[in-house]
A and B are shown apart, each in its own frame.
Chain A
Amino acid sequence: MIAWPPLRGRLSESELAGLAWVQAKIGNSQTQRLVWLASLPRRVGKRALAPELVKAGVATLNLGAWRAADVAAAVEFIEASLGEAALVELWDHGDQEERRMVGRSVCLGLGDLATPLLWDRAHRQNDQILFEATFLDSDHLARLADDEVWARAVLKAAFLNLDLARLYGFERRLPDTLQECLADFAAERRAAGRPVWPGTYAIAMLGENPRLLTLLTADRRSTDPTTQAQIADATRLAESVR
């Protein structure tokens, strides 16, 4: 878990003042947290943080995907030592902003037992903003999810056309079943005349699925500049994680 002083250090004086205002309203009461947490984006703001890979215990995360309000919420959760029930309650009774803040904090390892419940909530909500906040930009999912949760998350990322590189640690989690599912998905897309998810190429390069390799070989011969650019990107990604 990131100790709170460095996380606080990512906030400006005015952002810290906004956080202090909300924390004063909350005190140490979960009932008040359910009321006032929603005001953090207004009080602290939504400034995007600069890209920065951070080690949080054994986890790696990119603060560039976070906003000031997300940091402020994480500080509040850490300082209040929130556990499973409290985090899930905040999600269940939260608006999209509150859920986004809770989702971002999942990778910090807060209330570890809450992680599978929150993954389930975020997956079923099927809201791209919440999916990205909860699943992407850290290796938390790759380290802790079981194969079923992991496969569902990767397939959802493919369905939403999200960047595979944001699923940190994906190269360590390429079971045969997942590769088969991605080959099926690519075949469906091709049959419908729609583009294949670009992440498919990097997985083909790192895995050993014959259908994915056939697809990759065929597309390498394509004259379509978009396909060529996607394969070049996939090659760079595969080499960077190999």
Chain B
Amino acid sequence: MKIFEPHAHMVSRVTDDYERMRDSGVRVVLEPAFWLGQPRTSVGSFVDYFDTLLGWERFRAAGFGIHHVCTLGLNPREANDDRVNAGVVELLPRYLEKNGVVGVGEIGLDDMTAKEERWFLAQLVLAKEHDLPALVHTPHRNKRQGFLRCLDIIRDSGIRMDRVLLDHGNEETVKITRETGVWQGFSIYPHTKMDPPRMVAILRQYGVERMIINSACDWGVSDPLSVRKTADLMAEAEFGVGDIDRLVWGNPVQFFSETGRGTEAEWSTPPASTLGATHAGNSFLRGQSVETWGKRA
């Protein structure tokens, strides 16, 4: 099974996760820029964070045979912070053409404030200008209203609806979004948001068209293998191989490659391994040789 994991915050994960993900079938991991768990106090922190996603994390993933791509953006929480919001959005064009950037995100709404709406719209416009899809974070509270408001702003921006992935959906939001033309994302968490049995029930009812599932694994309690676990549960529920493959590989590949920032052929071939190499003088083998590392228990 080949998996395109379309939402994983790998800077917060350890090398064991990369190994387990690769062994479970993950060939591509997409890391959306997000909130680090506490507010950043200057634009410079975002510069270094974006550079990390484009440099070190890409290098680290390649060591495990996984392609690393990212979406960059100002997340909705920090869109409320005047120390950084305008500066980060001003900075973004310098990054959106870079190699490995396949979209703008995660952007969207969280508390649904006026500032969130302003910077969400501004970043949708940037996505249009750079011919990129948008990965949209939706509120965890008041989700139904949040989805409706996100859709209004998306329509106002003029971006094509099929260039938008509305993430963190559930049984209620799928009723709102399925006729709009946007792609629908579901984050499979161990205890919250959406779990594998509920996801399988949604897929049984609505099918896999324009559906994308992800682990959204980060620094919190989360499971980087939840896409594979959901796929396995689909197999147990007698979904066809074609539907499973479309959900975990075909759909995210189609959505994120449509504007030419990557191809299925490129992502199907493992990246040149960086094991044993160094990046900015740093290796993740911590002094072990590739041979020693490969023979570990």
Binding site for B on A (CB under 8 A): 34-39, 41-42, 93, 95-98, 124-128
Contact = CB atoms under 8 A, between A and B. Distances in A.
Contact of A93 (B94, B99, B278, B281): B94
A126 B59 CA distance: 12
Contact of B99 (A36, A42, A124, A126): A42
A59 B97 CA distance: 33
B25 interface: no
B99 A95 contact: yes
A199 to B, nearest CB: 19
Given A38-B97, A125-B279, A127-B280, 9 more contacts: A34-B94, A35-B96, A36-B97, A38-B98, A93-B94, A95-B99, A96-B55, A97-B98, A127-B59
Contacts of B250: none
Contacts of A124: 280-281
A27 to B, nearest CB: 14
CB-CB nearest 8 A-B residue pairs = A126-B278, A95-B98, A38-B98, A38-B97, A39-B97, A97-B99, A126-B281, A35-B93
A13 B96 CA distance: 27
B244 to A, nearest CB: 31
Contacts of A128: 277
Chain B interface main SS type: loop
B291 to A, nearest CB: 10
Given A126-B278, A126-B281, A127-B277, A35 B55 contact: no
A41 B99 contact: yes
Contacts of A126: 278-282
B109 to A, nearest CB: 27
A126 B280 CA distance: 5
Chain B, interface residues (CB within 8 Å), range: 10 to 19
A160 B282 CA distance: 15
B100 interface: yes
Of the candidates A35, A98, A124, the one having the most CB atoms from chain B within 10 angstroms of its own CB is A35
B54 interface: yes
A184 B190 CA distance: 55
B99 A96 contact: yes
Contacts of A42: 99, 260-261
Contacts of B99: 38, 41-42, 95-97
A124 B97 CA distance: 25
A39 B260 CA distance: 11
A161 B136 CA distance: 45
B100 A95 contact: yes
Contacts of B55: 95-96
Contacts of B98: 38, 95, 97-98
A167 B125 CA distance: 47
B97 A35 contact: yes
B50 to A, nearest CB: 10
Interface in B41-79: 54-55, 59
Contacts of A39: 97
